[in-house]
Copies of this chain bind each other. A is one copy, B any other.
Amino acid sequence: MRSETRKERHKQLVSLLRDNPLLTDEELAISLSVSLSTLRLDRGLLGIPELRERMRSMAENANSRLRSLKSDEVVGELLELEPNVSALSVLSATEDITFRHTNIVSDYYIYSQAASLAIATINEDMVVIGAARIRYRKPAFIGDKILARSKVGTFKGNKYVVSVHSSVDGKEMFVARFVVVAKNEFIQ
């Protein structure tokens, strides 16, 4: 059983597809300098679906991923919005927003949910975060539904103070106070 070369090739195949899942069998075969037949056999052995399947599944959760990260602008799903007063969003903690292969939700996402909610709350064309004070009280884990609630406090001119409280199961997990700035001139 001299299948060292094959094992090696399998590793390379996996790695090629990790870098670019949109390669056809032909391209893969050429990269690994084997025949189409061999490549298809390998792909079968490794249980890797055909290109079209891979595209399909990526396209499918491109949707959900889109929705979570940048979609339109809000990270999380906007549930309520009373412009310039308050808003509510929820973010479901899935594996791909966790921190270093743990079960803990990465702070980036908690921040992003809160910051985008703060921005969404303000009813102006162009709004950016100017400053913030944030505190993480507890971690959130895979499976948690993170509810973020924003409230507009004082505002002066083009600056609003928006506070955001994020909680899981009613327990406060994160608090922030953002200074949000509305830009009337369109920069650049």
Binding site for B on A (CB under 8 A): 21-22, 52, 54-56, 58-63, 65-66, 69-70, 73, 75, 96-97, 99-100, 102-104, 106-108, 111-112, 115-116, 126, 128-136, 139, 141, 187-188
CB distance from A116 to the nearest CB of B (A): 8
A136 touches B141 (CB 8 A): no
| Number of copies of chain A assembled together | 2
Which of chain B's residues have a CB closer than 8 A to the CB of A58?
A: 55, 58-59, 62-63
Find A65's partner among B70, B73, B139 (CB 8 Å cutoff). B70
Q: 4 shortest A-B CB distances, which residue pairs?
A: A62-B62, A58-B59, A131-B135, A55-B59
Expressed in whole angstroms, the Cα–Cα distance for A22 and B128 within the complex equals 35
